[in-house]
Structures are given as structure tokens and as C-alpha cells.
Amino acid sequence: MSVPATLVEKSSDEIREELAGFPEPTIDAVMRFREDGNAEALTEMVLRVIEYYLPRDKKVSLVGMPHSTRLFDELGADSLLMAEVAFKLEELLGIPIDLQAGPPAETLGDLIALLGQRLD
């Protein structure tokens, strides 16, 4: 899996600025992915970004949760939340992420796979 040049070229300070307000484990996952393009770090990064945008009454740790977990039905995601997640990931990675193109991302695994495909 290749790390986008946009992410590689960002300094740690720039990444921290883009992730202002995000918990430290989210920043750590982004930094790990930037360093080696590790698929596990990408997965953790995506899950932690989703966690950040979940409604307060639905806040749960997604790391370790089955990838079959349904974004809308089980986690309470809606189209606005998914747009915020896509925007943040686009900003970090510097690649377009169109959640409307192709089959819908209905589960955590679907979204992770979509990003993996965009980065291959």
C-alpha cells in the first residue's frame, strides 16, 4: 500500500494542526501510516476518525470491533457524519474520496476496503 505524497510531505506539526481536537491515538495512527504505509495503521486511522465524529450517545471504541459492524444501523452514522469522515480523510491523505461512487460503504470493513483500493 502506498502512502500518498501529500501525507508524506506534511510535517508532524502540520498533521497535528489538521487533527486539532482529535485524541492522541488518532494522531499516532496517522503518523504510523505516514511512516510505513502499514495497512493496520490505515485501518486504525480510519476507525479513529469515525470514532471522533460519532454522536456522543454512540461513542464507542471502534478499534477491535468487527469490520462487519454496520455504520448506519449499529453506529448511528448518517450522511453528514460520513461526509465529515470523508472530508477529513481527503484532507489528510490528499486523495479524493467519493462515497457516492460505486457500492455504498455500509460497514466498517467496506470503508476500510474503499480506502485501501484508493491507495493501491
All structural domains of the chain, each given as residue ranges with its CATH number in brackets, are 5-119 (1.10.1200.10)
Q: What is the DSSP secondary-structure string of 63-97? A: TTS-TT-BTTTTT---HHHHHHHHHHHHHHH-S--
Cell numbers placing 80: 453528514
pLDDT number for residue 102: 62
Contact of 51 with 59, CB cutoff 8 Å: yes
pLDDT of the residue at 69: 95
Rounded CA gap, 13 and 19, in Å? Answer: 10
Give me the pLDDT at residue 33, please: 94
CA atoms within 13 A on the CB side of 72: 9
Residue 90 confidence (pLDDT): 93
Global pTM reads 0.91
Per-residue pLDDT at 98 = 80
Per-residue model confidence (pLDDT) at position 58: 79
What pLDDT does residue 82 have?
92
Q: For the chain, which residues score pLDDT lower than 70?
A: 1, 101-103
Q: Is 107 left (phi over 0), alpha (psi -120 to 50) or beta?
A: beta
DSSP letter for 110, please: H
